[in-house]
C-alpha cells in the first residue's frame, strides 16, 4: 500500500480551510486522518488501482485540485507506510512531492542516511541522548543492540526505536474528523516582539477555548501551540518566497480538561520552552485536540480548595457570559 502525508501551506484562516482540503483528499480515498493544524495522512490502498495512477501521479492531482479550488499549495511525502510518508515529507519542499520506493533495498538506503530526529516520535530530548552516544543517524540506531537502546531511553521507547530503524512500520491511518478539535488564533496588527503581549494572546486564546469546550460539554486531551513569525531568510524557514515561518508544539495534558487555568498553564509552558528572544511574531494559535464528552472523562481527585473555588467561579462566569456576552467576565490581564 502507499500512504501520503500532506502538509498544506495554509493561510491564517486555518479552521475554515482545512475541512475543505480534507474533502479534496476524500475524493481519492475514504481513509483520511486529519493532522491539525495543517496536515493529513491518506491511505491510497485501492485508489492506485481504481484510478490507474501511481502515488506520484495521484499526489500531483491532489496538489492541482488544492491549488485550483482552494488556492492552497502543499508538500507531499509518499511511502509504503505512515512512518515513511512522514519522513519523506521532511525532505519535500513546498509545491513538491517526495516518494520513497517500496523495495526493501531502497527503503534500507533511505533510512540509512536519515538523521535520528527524522524518526516519528523522536523528540529533542531523546535525539540529544542518542547523539551523545554517537547514534546520530537511523543507520547507527539500526546497528545498535536493542538492550543498548532500552538502557539509553526506556523499554518501550527503545523497542519502538529499534523497530523503526529496522524499517518496521506499525503505523496505520485512522480516519477521523477535524471536528474532533477546536482552534482559535490571535493575529497581531503588527509584528510583535513583546513577550508580555504574546502571553496576553495566549491567555485570551486559552480562555476562549476553555469556554467553547465547556459550552459543548467536551474536554481535550492535547493542546497544540502554533506561532507564526514574520518573513525569515531561507536558512531559517527552509524555503523562500516570503512565506511566514511557523513553529508548532503539542503537549498531552495530565488529564482531559476544559478548565481554562489548566489550558493557560500548558500554553505558557509550551511558549516558554520555545525560548523566543525578540522574535517578530505575527500570530499565535491554540488548538484543543482529542475531544471527548466531559461526562466520560476521568479526573484525579483533589482536596485543594483553591482549585475547587476556581472551578466554581468559572461555572458562574460561564453563566454570566451566556447571558451578557463573551466579554462580560474576562481576566484582569485582558481588561486593559
The 10s digit of each residue's pLDDT in 312-328 is 888 888 888 777 777 77
Q: Is the pLDDT of residue 57 over 90?
A: yes
Give the pLDDT score at 235.
39
* 195-216 helix and 305-324 helix, angle to the nearest 10 degrees: 80
> Which cell goes with 217?
460539554
Within 13 A of 207's CA, how many CA atoms are on the CB side? 20
The rounded mean pLDDT for the chain is: 85
d(CA 66, CA 76): 12
Mean pLDDT of 145-169: 91
> Which cell goes with 132?
551523545
d(CA 165, CA 84): 11
Mean pLDDT of 185-205: 91
The 10s digit of each residue's pLDDT in 197-250 is 999 999 999 998 998 888 888 899 999 999 988 864 443 334 444 445 788 898
pLDDT-derived band at 125, boundaries 50, 70, 90: confident
Task: Give yes or no for a contact between 293 and 217, defined as CB atoms under 8 angstroms apart.
Answer: yes
Q: Is the pLDDT of residue 29 over 90?
A: yes
Which of 305, 312, 223, 232 has its CA nearest to residue 265? 223
Task: Give yes or no for a contact between 290 and 222, defined as CB atoms under 8 angstroms apart.
Answer: yes
**Whole-number percent of the chain with pLDDT over 90:** 39
Give the pLDDT score at 302.
65
Give the pLDDT score at 306.
63
Mean pLDDT comparison of 82-91, 120-129, 307-316, highest-scoring range: 82-91
Q: Does the global pTM surpass 0.75?
A: no
The 10s digit of each residue's pLDDT in 59-68 is 999 999 999 9
The 10s digit of each residue's pLDDT in 217-229 is 889 999 999 998 8
Burial of 161 (0-12, 13-18, 19+ CB in 10 A): buried
Amino acid at each position: 500500500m502507499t500512504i501520503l502525508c500532506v502538509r498544506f501551506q495554509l493561510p491564517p484562516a486555518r479552521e475554515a480551510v482545512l475541512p475543505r482540503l480534507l474533502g479534496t483528499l476524500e475524493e481519492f480515498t475514504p481513509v483520511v486522518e486529519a493532522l491539525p493544524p495543517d496536515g493529513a495522512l491518506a491511505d491510497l490502498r485501492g485508489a492506485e488501482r481504481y484510478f490507474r495512477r501511481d502515488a506520484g501521479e495521484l499526489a500531483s492531482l491532489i496538489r492541482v485540485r488544492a491549488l485550483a479550488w482552494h488556492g492552497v499549495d502543499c508538500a507531499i511525502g509518499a511511502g509504503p507506510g505512515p512512518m515513511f510518508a512522514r519522513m519523506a515529507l521532511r525532505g519535500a519542499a513546498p509545491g513538491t512531492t517526495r516518494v520513497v520506493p517500496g523495495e526493501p533495498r531502497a527503503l534500507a538506503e533511505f533510512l540509512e542516511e536519515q538523521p535520528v530526529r527524522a524518526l516519528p516520535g523522536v523528540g529533542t530530548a531523546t535525539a540529544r541522548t542518542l547523539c551523545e552516544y554517537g547514534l546520530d543517524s537511523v543507520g547507527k540506531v539500526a546497528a545498535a543492540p536493542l538492550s543498548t537502546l532500552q538502557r539509553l531511553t526506556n523499554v518501550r521507547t527503545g523497542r519502538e526505536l529499534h523497530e523503526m530503524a529496522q524499517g518496521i512500520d506499525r503505523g496505520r491511518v485512522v480516519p477521523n474528523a477535524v471536528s474532533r478539535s477546536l482552534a482559535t488564533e490571535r493575529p497581531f496588527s503588527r509584528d510583535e516582539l513583546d513577550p508580555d503581549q504574546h502571553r496576553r494572546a495566549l491567555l485570551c486564546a486559552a480562555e476562549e477555548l476553555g469556554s467553547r469546550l465547556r459550552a459543548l460539554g467536551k474536554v481535550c486531551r492535547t493542546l497544540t501551540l502554533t506561532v507564526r513569525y514574520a518573513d525569515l531568510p531561507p536558512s531559517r524557514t527552509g524555503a523562500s518566497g516570503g512565506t511566514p515561518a511557523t513553529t508548532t508544539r503539542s503537549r498531552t495534558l495530565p488529564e482531559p480538561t476544559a478548565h481554562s487555568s489548566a489550558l493557560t498553564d500548558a500554553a505558557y509552558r509550551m511558549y516558554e520552552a520555545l525560548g523566543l528572544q525578540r522574535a517578530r511574531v505575527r500570530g499565535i494559535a491554540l488548538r484543543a485536540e482529542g475531544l471527548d464528552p466531559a461526562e466520560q472523562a476521568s479526573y484525579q481527585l483533589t482536596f485543594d480548595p483553591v482549585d475547587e473555588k476556581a472551578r466554581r467561579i468559572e461555572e458562574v462566569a460561564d453563566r454570566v457570559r451566556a447571558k451578557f456576552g463573551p466579554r462580560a467576565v474576562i481576566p484582569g490581564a485582558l481588561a486593559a
